[in-house]
Structure 1
Amino acid sequence: MRLASSMSLWQFLTLLLGITLHTCKAEKCDDLIDLHLADAIIGTSLKIRLLLYTRESIDCGSLLSHTNFSAEPRFNLSRPTTFIIHGYRPTGSPPVWAHEITELHLAREDVNVILVDWNCGAANVNYLKAVENTHKAGENLTAFLKLMKEHGASMDDIHMIGVSLGAHIAGFVGANLNGTIGWITALDPAGPQFTGAPPEDRLDPTDAQFVDALHTDIDALGYRGALGHIDFYANGGTDQPGCPKTIFSGTAYFKCDHQRSVYLYCESLKRICTSRAFPCTNYKDFQDGKCTSCEQFGDAGCPVFGYDVVKYKNILLTLGQTKNFFITNEKAPYCKSNYRLDVVVWNQEEHWGYITVKLHGNGTNAVATIDHRAAQFKKFTETKLLAHFDTDIKSVNKMTLMFSTGNIFKPKYKLRVLWVRLTHLDRVDRPLCRYDLILEESKEVSFTPLPCQESNF
């Protein structure tokens, strides 16, 4: 072989060695263990694998040693560290969302992301065995965090994100470390075997300096009660829109509501839009528009769900545990735009019915159908309704209202509206009003709304 005159044999061998080392390094990327249903049927013993991802290796996981940190130079303990802990794996497959949530975190902040792979231990058709392994997994991670602390890591900079059973694992770690870790996020924490359990056997607010939880499946796989300093209930915590309603949809029927918690959290990392939540005692009062005030949060306004909720930490720690509710679309983008609709009528007789509102502006439309229950419209009495629009119209130039009763066999009614006021709850916009209009049942009426007079604020 004839070498180019500009390249010596030594230079060529050095280049070849560099290519070989690069190739070997690329081949060392580690990933979550992919097991099979047969493994889950036999049952798996607990084994914890810690996969490190950084901005320097966003698509290449590195298997961390539990005892020798110097073996992985990319593990920079001066950076914050986010642990992501999956839940029960009845079929042995790894979670489909693991890499997405990892990449989104690294896009938002320069951190160490550690995927906690406990598929060996979570994969078991016997759910009770997986529950037993959560305590052992917590002990394993506790030892790892203690070693991190010994090597200079700050517990203030630890964020643990637990999904389902993973939420309680994060709680056990936090409790073992006397609540010193900075932040725990629980995504639809598991309910079976944890509901009714004392705080030491589940996640609770004392497990970290700040604990937030999202509930999306409280009537099946999720935990119903409050577990954090702030608990979010998407769509009341049950029956997520867009999820299958019958068992004929296969496995999606069982996992869609539960898994929605992860996708809602991922959307919060993308900053496409925000889901503002409203503090309320229960979902019914929230739907009825009785919980639109956020005075306790001061100028910050109502808290937003997801990654940015930590900005409300100091306020939330003074309020104690709070339940907050929000509504979503059935698919991404999930965020809805929230308004309060106040209506005063002058009909002699009271009427019951539903209101559909459409907003128009900049070539786009947004729709809100307020139909969770029939509203009462009584003469000279203000009816307060909560309207959630599927998209946000920045500048409304036309508004459409429709009144309906759902009674196809009774005479049609007319709703004589003295005034209607639309108030944006996510932005400090001047409310929009319309005075003196007639709504014939099941017929749309469009008009140009005007800024409300001071007396109608």
Structure 2
Amino acid sequence: MIIHSSLCFLALSALTCAVFTVSGEHSLFRRDQKCIASLGCFHTSPQVKELPLDPEQIGTQFLLFSRAGRQTPVVFNATTADSVWKAKVHEAHFDGHKDTKFITHGYMDSGHTDWIVKMKDEFLKKGDFNIIVVSWPGGARQLLNKAVANVFVVAAEVSKLITYLQTNNGLNLGKVHLIGHSLGAQISGNVGTKLHSAVGRISGLDPAEPFFKDMANTMRLNKDDAKFVDIIHSDGEPFNGVQGYGLITALGHVDFYPNGGYDQPGCSDSFFQGLAGIFGGHAGSDASLACSHGRSHQFFIESINENSCKFHAHPCASWDEYRKGTCKSCPSGGCPIMGYEASTSARGSFYLATTMTSPFCGYEYFVEIDLTDHVDEDSFGRFYITLVGDHSSHETEFSRDDIHYHQRNTETQMIAVHSRVGKVSGVKVKFHHKTGLGTSGDKTVVIHRVLVRDMATGDLAKFCTGDAQLTTDQSKTFNSHTGC
């Protein structure tokens, strides 16, 4: 037997209800609901156990930019009357016939954060677009479960604005491009659902994983939300409260997995450094808390106007397969480009390597390090590698994590460097021993050989080391091609 009962009360502008469901003799489930005038009703679920804040508390603002007002946006609140919207849209010289870009931030951010300013500037450099920044700091700077609940209110507010612009200013939904990071990506997906998948494109920049992982597609970003949905995954490790804010699951028509979609080169993977970012008051997108999570919007920003280097990605079964150097082919239409120039005809999951620092687009090399029998049983750490060529040399992080190395271990990796080194004439390897629980002292590894393949040319170089021993932070350069 299932029994439903409800209790409702009026609080400010919102009607809040509690719906109790009794199933059988012993189970009691509570389903709360809040209805907000002109936006609809919002309810709790097994994933979202909080009701959202009132719109006045969320404080959503729309910042309208154009080439005529690059630095001085026209700003209005989502809660203001339509008559105010009309005046503000007119003041902003909004042109419904132009392409319109909506940029929405995620958790703990605001519409004034550095990366949004940079993205807005790059778009206006690229073309004569309408740019609308969605700023919802009052809703985003909450405990995570409350911020997730607020996502659905902000999505309703953005949908209401788009419908208004369509009705009153001739906005073409096919020319609407929603770009969202983290929770902003989930907002964008819900906007697409409310607009019946009529928007032209949604770019999800590391869509948020916490609480959304097990939600129905109608409540999270997916390929049915727009005519074209492209995703960049950058922090897809299992969520632990400090890392893994991104959803690793393929969601779009095309999903890009730079560096496997997690643990980005140059980002700390330390749980404790992540905590330091939180308690040090640096929980924004550029702090250690969100380094990998924030790389997704850094990649996208770089892609808007970069002409000399493109983020070409390759189809592959997984990152583990890709870093073995076996996925070199491209589809018949060519390898798709990650970021702004993503091909609307691309379908599937694609992989690529990036550099450690900006600019992140680089040239890919496959590297294999083979160890000998003589490896300290407590060799725990990571490798750094420098490719030496006849044009230049570049050091980069080889290992993405500190790991235990054992006898005859073989580690392969796909790395990227800022410029072509030319013909690879040597390789310098450094081992950094990580101390911690169960480890101590200067532990060693013994390298047998190193293989390097230029993925652009296919050229393979083999370097024999004479079974060289490396202690922590010691570097050795190898040039010999014989003896192994």
Matched, 1:331 2:357: yes
Q: CA deviation at 1:328?
A: 2.6
Identity %: 26
The TM-score normalised by the length of structure 1 is 0.70
**2-structure distance, mates of 1:412, 1:122:** 49
Matched, 1:255 2:290: yes
Which residue does the alignment assign to 1:365? 393
Give the match's secondary structure for 1:334.
coil
Deviations 1:76-101 (A, max 9, x none): 112100000112227x7942322111
Q: CA deviation at 1:401?
A: 4.2
Q: CA deviation at 1:282?
A: 2.4
Considering only CA atoms, is the larger Rg found in Structure 1 or Structure 2? 1
Q: CA deviation at 1:367?
A: 4.5
Q: Is the alpha carbon distance of 1:421 and 1:170 closer, same or farther for their aligned partners in structure 2, counting shifts above 3 Å? A: closer
Aligned length: 378
Give the match's secondary structure for 1:84.
strand
Which residue does the alignment assign to 2:41? none
Deviations 1:238-278 (A, max 9, x none): 32333342234544332322222222221222406333323
Matched, 1:156 2:174: yes
Give the match's secondary structure for 1:263.
helix
Q: Is the alpha carbon distance of 1:154 and 1:414 closer, same or farther for their aligned partners in structure 2, counting shifts above 3 Å? A: closer
Deviations 1:369-416 (A, max 9, x none): 755798999xxxxx996542322217x24521469999999997866x
Counterpart selection for 1:290 from 307, 326, 331: 326
- AA matched with 1:202: R
- AA matched with 2:148: V
**1-structure distance, mates of 2:209, 2:260:** 16
Q: Is the alpha carbon distance of 1:209 and 1:411 closer, same or farther for their aligned partners in structure 2, counting shifts above 3 Å? A: closer
Matched, 1:306 2:339: yes
Give the match's secondary structure for 2:64.
strand
**2-structure distance, mates of 1:54, 1:231:** 30
**2-structure distance, mates of 1:170, 1:160:** 6
Give the match's secondary structure for 1:145.
helix
- AA matched with 1:432: D
| Structure whose residues are more often helix by fraction | 1
Which residue does the alignment assign to 1:30? none
**2-structure distance, mates of 1:293, 1:278:** 7
**2-structure distance, mates of 1:423, 1:298:** 22
Which residue does the alignment assign to 2:96? 77
Give the match's secondary structure for 2:85.
coil
Counterpart selection for 2:106 from 55, 78, 87: 87
Matched, 1:206 2:224: yes
Q: Is the alpha carbon distance of 1:156 and 1:376 closer, same or farther for their aligned partners in structure 2, counting shifts above 3 Å? A: farther
Map residues 66-145 of structure 1 onto 2, 5 A cutoff: 66-68=85-87, 71-72=90-91, 74-89=93-108, 94-123=112-141, 125-145=142-162
The TM-score normalised by the length of structure 2 is 0.67
Map residues 305-454 of structure 1 onto 2, 5 A cutoff: 305-309=338-342, 312-314=343-345, 316=346, 319=347, 322-340=348-366, 358-362=387-391, 364-367=392-395, 387-393=414-420, 396-401=422-427, 422-425=453-456, 429=457, 431-432=458-459, 439-442=465-468, 444-446=477-479
Matched, 1:236 2:260: yes
Q: CA deviation at 1:156?
A: 1.4
Q: Is the alpha carbon distance of 1:336 and 1:46 closer, same or farther for their aligned partners in structure 2, counting shifts above 3 Å? A: same
| Structure whose residues are more often strand by fraction | 2
**2-structure distance, mates of 1:55, 1:104:** 11
Q: Is the alpha carbon distance of 1:387 and 1:70 closer, same or farther for their aligned partners in structure 2, counting shifts above 3 Å? A: closer
Which residue does the alignment assign to 2:312? 276
Is 1:87–1:165's contact at 8 Å kept on the other side of the alignment? yes
Which moves more between the two structures, 244-253 or 80-89?
244-253
Matched, 1:174 2:174: no
Is 2:190–2:220's contact at 8 Å kept on the other side of the alignment? yes
**2-structure distance, mates of 1:328, 1:58:** 30
Is 1:367–1:389's contact at 8 Å kept on the other side of the alignment? no
**1-structure distance, mates of 2:193, 2:339:** 23
Is 1:179–1:209's contact at 8 Å kept on the other side of the alignment? yes
**1-structure distance, mates of 2:99, 2:195:** 17
Is 2:176–2:199's contact at 8 Å kept on the other side of the alignment? yes
- Give 5+ residue unaligned stretches, structure 1: 1-40, 378-382, 449-457
- AA matched with 1:74: H
Q: Is the alpha carbon distance of 1:174 and 1:239 closer, same or farther for their aligned partners in structure 2, counting shifts above 3 Å? A: same
Which residue does the alignment assign to 2:163? 146
Deviations 1:92-121 (A, max 9, x none): 794232211110111112101111122233
Which residue does the alignment assign to 2:204? 186
- AA matched with 1:393: R
Counterpart selection for 1:223 from 247, 266, 272: 247
- AA matched with 1:323: S
Q: CA deviation at 1:422?
A: 3.5
**2-structure distance, mates of 1:258, 1:206:** 24
Give the match's secondary structure for 2:153.
helix
- AA matched with 2:353: I
**1-structure distance, mates of 2:418, 2:120:** 27
Q: Is the alpha carbon distance of 1:389 and 1:288 closer, same or farther for their aligned partners in structure 2, counting shifts above 3 Å? A: same
Q: Is the alpha carbon distance of 1:299 and 1:212 closer, same or farther for their aligned partners in structure 2, counting shifts above 3 Å? A: closer
Which residue does the alignment assign to 1:56? 68
Give the match's secondary structure for 1:146.
helix
